[in-house]
C-alpha cells in the first residue's frame, strides 16, 4: 500500500470516529430527552454532558494500552483493534432501547458504551498522526495535518447528520437518531478491512532492527521525552477547550442565549467547520514551504485575541453574525491544526511516539475536553456573561503559546530550548 492509500485508509477511520463523537455532542439536548428525561431541561443536559465526559476519562487507559502495543509491536495492530472496538460500541448505541423502554438501565448502558468508545479513541487519534508522519518524510506538516483534516471533516459530517435528524425528527419520535450510529459502525468495518493491508512504517522497522525499542515505552517517554509530553499536553489543552467551546458549545449559546433556531445554529457551525476543513491542507502546504512553527504561533495569538469575539457573535441572535463567528473560529483552528501535530510528534523518539503522544494527549483531553461543556455551563451560570467562555478559550491559547514559543523549528527537526531529560 503506497503513501496515498495509507493516508486515505488511516484518515477514513479518524473521520468516522469524529463524525460519531461530534454528532453525539451536537445532539446533547436532543438525546437528553430520550435517555435522561427530567422536569428541568438544564439538569437533563448536564447529565448527557456527564456521559460525554465519561468517554474522555477512559481515553488515558486506551492510550496506555494501545500506545504500548504500537511502540513495541508495530503501528498497524492497534490501529485495527481500536477501530474494531469503536465500531462495536457505536453499533450498540445505535440499537440501544431508550429510557421509555428500559428505564435507568438504558442510561447506564449508554454510559458504558460511551466509555468503551473513549477507550478505543485513546489508541486511535494520535496513532494515526504517528503513522502518517512516519510514512511521508517529504511533506511533514501536510502528513501531520491529515489527522486534523479528517477530524474536521468528521465534524462536518457530524454537523450535517445532526441538522438532518433534528429537521426531520424534531421530537425524537421516529428514531432517526439511530441511523448515524448504525451507518458509522458499518463504514468502520469497511475501514478495518482496508487497514489490514497497511504497511508498517520504515521508522518502526529500523528501530526494531536496531534493537532501539523500549520494554515500557510510556516510562521511556517520561525519561527521555519530557519536553514532548509537556508540548503535547498543552496542545491538547488548547485544542480541547477551543474546539468544544468555540464550536460545540457555540451551538448551545446560539440557541439558548441568541435564540437562533436549532437548524440555523447547526448550519452556522457546519459552515465554519467546512471552511476550517478546506483551509487545513492549504496552511499545511504553506507550512512545509515556509516556517510551520511561526505559523502555529500566529494561530495561537489569533485565538488569544479573537475568542471573546467568537462567543459574542454566538450570542448575538443574528444568523449572519453566528456564521461570521464560525468563520473566524475555522480560520484560527485551521492555522493551528495544520502545524501542531507535526511539531508535537517530532519531539519524541521513534520508540516512544505512540505511547508518549497518546498518553499526554488523552490525559489532558480527559481533564479539559471531558469537562469543557460542563465547565462552560458553570462559567456562564456563575458570571451571567458569555465573555467568560471566550476568556476561557483565550487563557488556554495564552498558556499554549507560552510553551510553543520555546520550541525552535528548523527544516530538519524540531528542537527545544526547554530543559531536556538526561
- pLDDT value of position 36: 78
Exposed/middle/buried for residue 265 (C-beta within 10 Å: 0-12, 13-18, 19+) = buried
Examine residue 271 and state whether it is found in any structural domain, yes or no: yes
pLDDT digits (tens, 9 = 90+) for 227-265: 889 999 999 999 999 998 998 899 889 998 999 987 788
Tell me the pLDDT band of 84, cut-offs 50, 70 and 90: very high
Q: Is the pLDDT of residue 422 over 50?
A: no
Assigned domain for 422 exists:
no
Mean pLDDT of 400-404: 92
206-217 pLDDT tens trace: 988 888 888 889
At residue 40, the pLDDT reads 61
> At residue 336, does pLDDT exceed 90?
yes
The neighbouring-strand residues paired with 407 are: 416
Residues with Cβ < 8 Å from 419, sequence gap 6 or more?
A: 227
Residues ≥6 apart with Cβ < 8 Å to 27: 162, 165, 166, 177
Is residue 43 scored above 70 in pLDDT? no
Residue 48 in any domain: the answer is yes
Given a cut of 50, is residue 419 above it in pLDDT?
no
Residue 270's domain comprises: 3-416
Q: List the single range of 9-23, 114-128, 216-230, 398-412 with lowest mean pLDDT.
A: 398-412
**Distance between alpha carbon 88 and the CA centroid of its chain, in Å?**
20
Q: What is the mean pLDDT of residues 375-393?
A: 90
Bigger pLDDT: 117 vs 45: 117
Determine the pLDDT at residue 253.
92
Please tell me the distance from the alpha carbon of residue 107 to that of residue 125, in angstroms, as a whole number: 27
- What value does the mean pLDDT take over residues 414-418? 44
According to the model, what pLDDT value does residue 319 have? 95
* Band of residue 328 on the pLDDT scale cut at 50, 70, 90: very high
Q: What is the pLDDT of residue 416?
A: 45
Q: Model confidence at 394, in pLDDT bands (50, 70, 90)?
A: very high
Confidence of residue 381 (pLDDT cuts 50, 70, 90): confident
Mean pLDDT of the chain: 86
CB 283 within 8 A of CB 342: no
Comparing C-alpha atoms, which of 293, 412, 288, 421 is closest to residue 352? 421
CA distance 276 to 328: 9
pLDDT in tens, 259-316: 998 778 888 988 998 899 999 999 999 999 988 889 999 999 999 999 999 999 999 9
324 pLDDT more than 90 = yes
Evaluate whether residue 111 is within a structural domain.
yes
Indicate the number of domains in the chain: 1
Select the more confidently predicted residue: 24 or 90: 90
- Give the pLDDT score at 241: 95
| Phi, psi of 19, deg, nearest 5 | -65, -45
CA distances from 58 to 6, 47, 361, 363, 378 (A): 27, 17, 12, 9, 23
SS3 letters across the chain: CCHHHHHHHHHHHHHHHHHHHHHHHHCHHHHHHHHCCCCCHHHHHHHHHHHHHHHHHCHHHHHHHHHHHHHHCCCHHHHHHHHHHHHHHHHHHHCCCCHHHHCHHHHHHHHHHHHHHHHHHCCCHHHHHHHHHHHCCCCHHHHHHHHHHHHHHHHHHHHHHHHHHHHHCCCCCCCCCHHHHHHHHHHHHHHHHHHCCCCCCHHHHHHHHCCCCCCCHHHHHHHHCHHHHHHHHHHHHHHHHHHHHHHHHHHHHHHHCCCCCHHHHHHHHHHHHHHHHHHHHHHHHHHHHCCHHHHHHHHHHHHHHHHHHHHHHHCCCCHHHHHHHHHHHHHHHHHHHCCHHHHHHCCCCHHHHHHHHHHHHHHHHHHHHCCHHHHHHHHHHHHCCCHHHHHHHHHHHHHHHHHHCCEEECCCCEEECCCCCC
48 pLDDT tier (thresholds 50, 70, 90): confident
Percent of the chain with pLDDT over 70: 93
pLDDT tens string 159-179:
788 888 888 877 666 788 899
pLDDT for residue 399? 95
CATH number at residue 389: 1.20.1250.20
Percent of the chain exceeding pLDDT 90 equals: 37
Whether residue 228 contacts residue 348, with contact meaning beta carbons closer than 8 Å, is answered with yes
pLDDT of residue 42: 67
Please name every residue paired with 416 in a beta bridge, in sequence order, or none if there are none.
407
The CB-side HSE value for 389 (13 A sphere, CA atoms) comes to: 32
- 414 pairs with which residues across the strands? 409
pLDDT of 236:
94
Query: Is 186 within the bounds of a domain?
Result: yes
**Does 162 reside within a domain?**
yes
Q: Which residues pair with 409 in a beta bridge?
A: 414
Higher pLDDT, 99 or 2: 99
Residue 81 lies in a domain: yes
The per-residue pLDDT for 107 is 84
Q: φ and ψ at 170, to 5 degrees?
A: -65, -25
C-alpha cell at position 182: 448504525
| Residue 16, domain member (yes or no) | yes
- Is residue 410 predicted with pLDDT exceeding 70? no
Q: Is the pLDDT of residue 407 over 70?
A: yes
Confidence of residue 1 (pLDDT cuts 50, 70, 90): low
pLDDT category, 14, cuts 50, 70, 90?
A: confident
Amino acid at each position: 500500500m503506497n503513501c496515498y492509500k495509507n493516508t486515505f485508509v488511516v484518515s477514513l477511520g479518524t473521520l468516522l470516529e469524529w463524525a460519531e463523537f461530534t454528532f453525539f455532542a451536537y445532539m446533547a439536548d436532543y438525546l437528553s430527552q430520550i435517555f435522561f428525561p427530567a422536569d428541568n431541561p438544564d439538569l437533563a443536559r448536564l447529565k448527557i454532558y456527564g456521559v460525554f465526559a465519561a468517554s474522555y476519562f477512559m481515553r488515558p487507559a486506551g492510550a496506555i494500552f494501545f500506545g504500548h502495543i504500537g511502540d513495541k509491536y508495530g503501528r498497524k495492530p492497534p490501529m485495527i483493534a481500536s477501530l474494531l472496538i469503536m465500531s462495536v460500541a457505536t453499533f450498540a448505541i445505535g440499537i440501544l432501547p431508550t429510557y421509555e423502554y428500559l428505564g435507568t438501565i438504558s442510561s447506564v448502558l449508554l454510559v458504558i458504551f460511551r466509555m468503551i468508545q473513549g477507550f478505543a479513541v485513546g489508541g486511535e487519534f494520535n496513532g494515526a498522526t504517528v503513522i502518517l508522519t512516519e510514512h511521508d518524510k517529504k511533506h511533514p506538516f501536510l502528513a501531520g495535518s491529515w489527522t486534523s483534516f479528517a477530524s474536521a471533516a468528521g465534524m462536518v459530517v457530524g454537523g450535517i447528520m445532526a441538522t438532518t435528524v433534528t429537521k426531520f425528527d424534531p421530537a425524537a419520535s421516529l428514531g432517526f437518531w439511530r441511523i448515524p450510529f448504525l451507518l458509522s459502525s458499518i463504514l468502520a468495518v469497511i475501514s478495518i478491512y482496508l487497514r489490514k493491508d497497511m504497511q508498517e512504517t520504515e521508522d518502526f522497522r529500523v528501530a526494531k532492527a536496531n534493537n532501539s525499542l523500549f520494554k515500557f515505552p510510556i516510562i521511556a517517554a517520561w525519561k527521555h521525552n519530557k519536553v514532548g509530553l509537556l508540548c503535547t499536553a498543552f496542545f491538547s489543552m488548547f485544542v480541547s477547550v477551543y474546539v468544544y467551546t468555540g464550536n460545540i458549545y457555540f451551538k448551545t449559546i446560539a440557541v439558548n442565549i441568541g435564540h437562533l433556531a436549532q437548524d440555523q445554529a447547526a448550519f452556522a457551525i457546519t459552515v465554519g467547520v467546512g471552511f476550517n476543513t478546506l483551509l487545513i491542507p492549504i496552511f499545511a502546504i504553506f507550512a512545509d514551504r515556509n516556517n510551520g512553527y511561526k505559523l502555529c504561533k500566529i494561530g495561537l495569538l489569533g485565538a488569544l485575541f479573537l475568542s471573546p469575539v467568537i462567543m459574542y457573535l454566538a450570542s448575538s441572535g443574528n444568523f449572519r453574525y453566528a456564521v461570521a463567528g464560525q468563520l473566524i473560529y475555522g480560520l484560527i483552528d485551521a492555522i493551528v491544526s495544520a502545524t501542531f501535530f507535526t511539531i508535537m510528534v517530532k519531539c519524541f523518539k521513534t520508540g516512544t511516539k505512540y505511547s508518549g503522544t497518546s498518553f499526554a494527549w488523552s490525559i489532558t483531553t480527559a481533564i479539559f475536553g471531558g469537562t469543557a461543556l460542563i465547565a462552560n455551563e458553570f462559567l456562564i451560570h456563575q458570571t451571567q456573561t458569555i465573555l467568560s467562555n471566550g476568556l476561557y478559550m483565550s487563557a488556554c491559547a495564552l498558556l499554549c503559546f507560552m510553551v510553543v514559543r520555546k520550541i525552535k523549528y528548523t527544516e530538519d527537526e524540531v528542537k527545544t530550548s526547554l530543559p531536556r531529560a538526561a
